[in-house]
Amino acid sequence: AASASKAPGMPQLLVGLGNPWPSPKSARHNLGSLVMEALAEELGLTWEWRWSCWSWIAQGGDTSITIPGTFYNLSGWAVQRVLQTLDMEPGDVVVLHDDIDLEPFVWAMICNESDGGNRGVRSILQAIGVVRRLRLGVGRPASRSPPTVAAYVLGSLEPSLLQRWQTAAANGEVLQVLRSSAEAPTARKKGRLL
């Protein structure tokens, strides 16, 4: 198993966005939380439900992982309370979320005030301000109309894409991206899964 705490530069709090039931577990909007589940398993961390912040939290070494139990578009409320509970600052956070502006298997690290039309990100920016984000590409829907986009992000991921992102969490690729982001926290970086 990998270790989050042995290498310098790991963020203190990783946040994986997703929707709770009744959203399909494999929905594109759940990719952030699915990657965090795979990473927590690889790191040997155990999940604990925290009522005070309505979130799942897994802690180990210097890094904590959380999955808000709120709906995706209301994630900011939960993330703000997780920071209070764990006595952390917005600068300690990296949020992982699906992104329809990136092709499948592509990732991008960003730190700015734009939500890119992502309401979950908007909620976090409004609640705690600017944070680093690891955008996980899920590809574009056929149309940018709101109903089409909503149906697309709530629809299921292609099995090969889901498996590849989970493998990236388990084999250290995601950890490597997160660690490299700490060297230049405000720099934009983009890459593709190997």
Residues annotated as catalytic are 29
Task: Measure the CA–CA gap between 119 and 74, rounded to whole angstroms.
Answer: 8
d(CA 55, CA 127): 16
Q: Quote the radius of gyration of the chain (alpha carbons, Å).
A: 15
Q: Provide the edge-to-edge strand list for the sheet that holds 93-99.
A: 47-50, 55-60, 63-68, 13-16, 93-99, 132-137, 106-110, 189-192
If one counts every other C-beta atom within 10 angstroms of the C-beta of residue 79, the result is 26
Phi-psi region of 60 (alpha: psi -120 to 50; beta: other; left: phi over 0): beta
